[in-house]
Structure 1
Amino acid sequence: MNKEDVRLLDELERALRQGGLRLAYQPKVDALDGSLVRVEALMRWTHPELGAVPPARFVPLAEMHGLIDGLTQWALRTALRQWRVWKNAGLDTSVAVNISAMSLEQLDFPDLVERLCRALDVPVDRLVLELTEGATQPLINLMDTLTRFRIKGVGLALDDFGTGYSGLIQLRKLPFNEIKIDRQFVTDLPTSRDDQVIVRSVIELAHGLGLQVTAEGVETVEQLAALRDLGCDLIQGYLVAHPLEAGELVAWASRHKRRWKLLIRPPQEEPRRIKA
């Protein structure tokens, strides 16, 4: 490990102990009616000297050097406590937390998550754990752990679907109930026939397996119209909202209800249904 990584790891451990981390929350909404379905908790670390340090930089360090369990438990506790605040404010949604595959190697992890939910008075079915497709490579060997989550009622989502070579194997063998289409397939969706065929196929496959589909990285009304036309369930991206501070969500939800109508084209202006 080089000196920069050593320093970053020390600073991360200090931030975890001293409250230097925070969560931002990005809404996911129903693609048809715009209703808020879920928020994804996104880890944020702003270092006083280094500035914003992206999770892609510090999470792998935490995984390699024994900090990932503490990081995961902090994220779960913080997100679940915030869910209770929103619930008390009259906003009922569910919350998704990104989980490292390494956390699933602990046999008692499902029980720990259930205890956290119970202690913080959060129904387990209001929590979704998200894993990246790349991270699921070793999870075939952890089928029992994942199945226990499903039995307990905790949702499981496969993130960045389509970026790895084994996605279909994961869908067939692992007990997910949601997949998230990676943004690379959404960017050119309104004009790319190839992307249209791929996204249509993924949505039909997922629905055939009883899975919900979320599209990531939705930034334009044209992308939204194409996804609605293809039958996507949920959307997430800057068109809906940037990641929000916890205290901003209730006000955003109120504004969003009025704004959603402006994002939906009148029926006569909607694009024709795409034929494969």
Structure 2
Amino acid sequence: MLDELERTLRQGGLRLVYQPKVDAVDGSLVRVEALVRWAHSELGAIPPARFIPLAEEHGLIDDLTQWALRTALRQWREWKAAGLDTSLAVNISAISLEQLDFPDLVERMCRALSVPTDRLVLELTEGATQPLINMMDTLTRFRIKGLGLALDDFGTGYSGLMQLRRLPFSEIKIDRQFITELTTSRDDQVIVRAVIELAHGLDLKVTAEGVETAEQLGILRAMGCDLIQGYLLAHPLEAGDLVAWAIRHKRRWKLLIRPSDEQQGRQRIGA
């Protein structure tokens, strides 16, 4: 599989799909997250959870990261030319941050493709924050250059609140495991509300991922969550489908936030 991954990457056999993130208040499209996909000719779709660690272990992750960044930034230009102005999120590995010049590389990519750095957010998983604490200078340089940093899967790792306070993130993403039973689990409601209040107290934006029902959306809106991501809004889309989705979504948003649903959400969390 390693040989095939290397060959696939070299021959352009990977592709990106994009999942929208919308403003929880007005439903406007704020950002799209680029997600890498590998369709194997014999094994079918191979999930990133299988091939990303393989790339990290065997020295392919830098090539993969640079390909994803370059591809996503080029796609951003196409959307911009089509009249769709949004920001972009790309997942990166902590291993890439071991290169001292990585922030400069990302900035050069943005400049070469005429993408403002403040339109790009780099996402890192919470499990990576322990080694990242030793890379404070590198992360700070990203922020100085105007790039956003999001802490993904918040609540699933063991980084602790100290790392969240010390690392220069601009956003956190609440892991989907806390959203799945949000409508029935009092514990999950308490945790999610506490995370949102904590993040806002630290001047961080909050994205809830894995939102699949209008009732979950209503509760998150009532809690003050900033951004929403999940199948309720859209599955990951091919790049060419995003403009059409954005048009449909504007019409559909009002149906998703019916007043009765939002009021039920407030009642469920005791607001």
Q: Which residue of 2 aligns with 1:254?
A: 247
Q: 1:85 aligns with which of 74, 78, 95?
A: 78
Q: Which residue of 2 aligns with 1:162?
A: 155
Superposed, 1:1-276 pairs within 5 Å as 8-267=1-260, 270-271=263-264, 272-273=266-267, 274-275=269-270
d(CA) in 2 for partners of 1:24, 1:86: 14
CA-CA distance at 1:240 after TM superposition: 0.4
- What is the root-mean-square deviation in Å for CA atoms of aligned residues? 1.1
Answer whether contact 2:77 2:113 (CA < 8 A) is retained: yes
**Against the structure 1 CA distance between its residues 28 and 169, is the aligned structure 2 distance closer, same or farther, given a 3 Å change threshold?**
same
Gapped regions of structure 1 (runs ≥ 5): 1-7
Answer whether contact 2:154 2:175 (CA < 8 A) is retained: yes
d(CA) in 2 for partners of 1:65, 1:230: 43
Answer whether contact 1:133 1:167 (CA < 8 A) is retained: no
Gapped regions of structure 2 (runs ≥ 5): none
Answer whether contact 1:186 1:217 (CA < 8 A) is retained: yes
Q: Which residue of 2 aligns with 1:3?
A: none
- Identity over aligned residues, as a percent? 84
Q: TM-score, normalised by structure 1?
A: 0.95
Q: TM-score, normalised by structure 2?
A: 0.97
| SS of structure 2 residue aligned to 1:24 | strand
| SS of structure 1 residue aligned to 2:95 | helix
Answer whether contact 1:218 1:239 (CA < 8 A) is retained: yes
- More divergent stretch after superposition (135-144 vs 262-271): 262-271
CA-CA distance at 1:275 after TM superposition: 3.4
| SS of structure 1 residue aligned to 2:103 | helix
**Against the structure 1 CA distance between its residues 268 and 91, is the aligned structure 2 distance closer, same or farther, given a 3 Å change threshold?**
closer
Answer whether contact 2:212 2:232 (CA < 8 A) is retained: yes
| SS of structure 1 residue aligned to 2:270 | coil
C-alpha deviations, 1:168-198, integer Å up to 9, x for none? 1221110000000000100111121111110
Answer whether contact 1:213 1:234 (CA < 8 A) is retained: yes
The runs of at least 4 aligned residues of structure 1 exceeding 3 Å deviation read none
d(CA) in 1 for partners of 2:120, 2:129: 19
Counterpart AA for 1:71: L
CA-CA distance at 1:267 after TM superposition: 5.0
CA-CA distance at 1:135 after TM superposition: 1.5
